[in-house]
Structure 1
Amino acid sequence: MRRVNVNGVAVLVGQAIGGGATAASANRQRVLQAALYGTCSNFNSERFGLSSRSAPPSVTNGCVAGTKSFSAAATSLAQDHAHAHAHSHKFSPKDVVLYQYEACPFCNKVKAFLDYYKIPYGVVEVNPINKKEIKWSDYKKVPILKVDGEQMVDSSDIIDKLFQKLHPDNPVASGDEETKWRGWVDNHLVHVLSPNIYRTTSEAIESFDYITTHGNFSFTERIIAKYAGAAAMYFVAKNLKKKHNITNERAALYEAAETWVDALKGRKFLGGSNPNLADLAVFGVLRPIRHLKSGKDMVQHTRIGDWYTGMESEVGESSRIKA
């Protein structure tokens, strides 16, 4: 147990349940060291922590840092090389379009994956009130990703399919640990975000400021979407707080951040020296709040800042194609 300060009040935090293609130089170093890591309805329900995805079965941590033989390290190097080769040659989509809400955690989870793997993509901002931009689809939630005409839905399923295209000879998850923490993101972390983002009316309006600068909306549509959306989500967040038995929004957010840092067990990333899909998932859903009041408070009051900064560096610049 540890203490974190929430508005000056000490709160006890308990520990809960506990990549990308690697650069050639980094792989060579790993071989020389032979030390490998084991590795909304009118508002989108995924966006606001109401995903219908069921939680994966509970599993134990199965992969820890350890020293392998040179031959095992060489095998890993060959596999990484094959993954990079598959990424650059076997999967080169010509037209990738993401239908999204800019502030949607699940949409940002998909974008983190696309950015990390340097897959260029266009973006269509969906009006959260009338969702006219996705009237063509039978699926009425975001994210929706179209890859060379193929529609993909549900953030985790989208990532699984893209990963399999990048690594056709590799399973989606490299271990139980990665699978568990991806499930934790979808079934726990997202549930504490909305009560924090929309904690007060001013924070709710702040979170909808993006609507004034994103999307091909008229002035009237922007005003309606911003204020009607903020008002609706303020009340949705209150209901989510009750549903998930959250008594203190910030304390729940800080606990989630500390739980994630504990899961790293001193590693740079959960994937070791490079992010895995769980790292990308956590980073993606947190990215929309990073510069909101809730995100600033989270970084100030927890240890997550160093990991987040490292992820920003690894993910790099956005691969979004500017219109």
Structure 2
Amino acid sequence: MSGDLILHHYGTSPFSEKVRVAFGIKGLPWQSVKIPPMMPKPDLTVLTGAYRKTPVMQVGADIYCDTQIILREIEHRHPSPTFYPGSAKGLAEGVAFWADHQLFSASVAVAFGLMGEQMPDAFLEDRAKFSGRSIDRSKMKMQAAMMSGPLRAHLGWIEEALHDGRKFLFGDAPSLADLAVYHCVWFVRDRAKATDLADYTALNVWADRMKGFGHGSASELDSKAAVEIAKTATPAPVPAGVAANAMGLSAGMPVSVTPDDTGRDATVGELVGLTAQSITIAREMPETGRVHVHFPRAGFILVPHKG
């Protein structure tokens, strides 16, 4: 049980769909912990600290926050078929970062405009706190109209790339880049039922191909059982240690880690690992015992904690 892949997610989360399709590409079994789409999420945040974004992946007492590091860990544990076929290594990470931020922002605006009338007030209030800006239901359709042009521009690049007949963005096999672009398309096309993407013929064929991978083999797990798994497990060693860095951070220092865009709640712990691509901090709570919480470097602010 402690070595199983556990995904804390909910069905309509686009970033969760990114990881679910990743499981499908690799044909993996995984355990599904359904979490609320809005705060509070007590059985999640006891594992992560204050991190509230979705999804989170757990392997025993190791907690992975953000799909960047989640997919990197899945690749590490299950390298075949790879998320980095051919020339995708490095470049796929860059395309994915663009998709997760610029493409996703445009996708959210359009999707919310299409689905806004169905969204409960409590959900919109939660997302206003999450994003750090007010959300006015009466303006959502206008904002969607404003962002439809940028969204079509972004997706036009993907349509152009796929028009040469390639099956995926980097050739004949799916990569990390395909996963990152797909979850945005899925959110607008499949969840929000947008109809103005029909003219993107190559994009739609590709999206159907991505959808065809499915989600691997999931089994349900209770959130409290997941917390107990963490408590009875031991975090994996962090062999890289703490690399030299401009801030002079060293192993054992108290630090805080905060997303640089939305959900800016700081997770505080003891620094145990730092590389060019990852941050690992240790936390300990009575409910969980000692856990290691992992974050990517890109997209997160790491500073000493003065509490």
* TM-score, normalised with respect to structure 2: 0.57
CA contact (8 A) 1:254 1:302 kept: no
Alpha-carbon distance in structure 2 between the residues aligned to 1:160 and 1:184 = 17
Q: 2:149 aligns with which of 232, 241, 251?
A: 251
Aligned to 1:194: 108
Report how far residue 162 of structure 1 moved: 1.4
Q: 1:93 to 1:286 in 2, by over 3 A?
A: farther
Q: 2:11 aligns with which of 102, 116, 121?
A: 102
Report how far residue 129 of structure 1 moved: 2.6
Superposed CA deviations along residues 110-148 of structure 1, whole A, max 9, x for unmatched, are 222112112222222222131123132214222211123
Q: 1:162 aligns with which of 74, 97, 101?
A: 74
* Paired positions, count: 206
CA contact (8 A) 2:124 2:135 kept: no
Asked if 1:140 corresponds to 2:39, the answer is: no
Paired residue type of 1:179: E
Q: 1:160 to 1:109 in 2, by over 3 A?
A: same
| Corresponding residue SS for 1:278 | helix
Aligned to 1:229: 123
Q: Which moved more, 1:145-154 or 1:226-235?
A: 226-235
Paired residue type of 1:274: A
| Corresponding residue SS for 1:255 | helix
Aligned to 1:268: 167
Alpha-carbon distance in structure 2 between the residues aligned to 1:148 and 1:287 = 30
Alpha-carbon distance in structure 1 between the residues aligned to 2:95 and 2:103 = 10
Report how far residue 237 of structure 1 moved: 5.6
Aligned to 2:40: 130
CA contact (8 A) 1:110 1:155 kept: yes
Give 1:22-61 correspondences, 5 Å limit: none
| Corresponding residue SS for 1:123 | strand
Report how far residue 159 of structure 1 moved: 0.5
Aligned to 1:36: none
The structure whose residues are more often strand, as a share, is 2
Q: 1:96 to 1:164 in 2, by over 3 A?
A: closer
Aligned to 1:32: none
Runs of 5+ in structure 1 lacking a partner?
A: 1-91, 209-225
Alpha-carbon distance in structure 2 between the residues aligned to 1:180 and 1:119 = 25
Q: 2:21 aligns with which of 108, 112, 125?
A: 112
Asked if 1:311 corresponds to 2:206, the answer is: no
Aligned to 1:204: 116
Superposed CA deviations along residues 20-67 of structure 1, whole A, max 9, x for unmatched, are xxxxxxxxxxxxxxxxxxxxxxxxxxxxxxxxxxxxxxxxxxxxxxxx
| Corresponding residue SS for 1:121 | strand
C-alpha RMSD over aligned residues: 3.4
Asked if 1:182 corresponds to 2:96, the answer is: yes
Identity %: 19
Report how far residue 302 of structure 1 moved: 2.8
CA contact (8 A) 2:83 2:175 kept: no
Paired residue type of 2:122: A
* TM-score, normalised with respect to structure 1: 0.54
The structure whose residues are more often helix, as a share, is 1
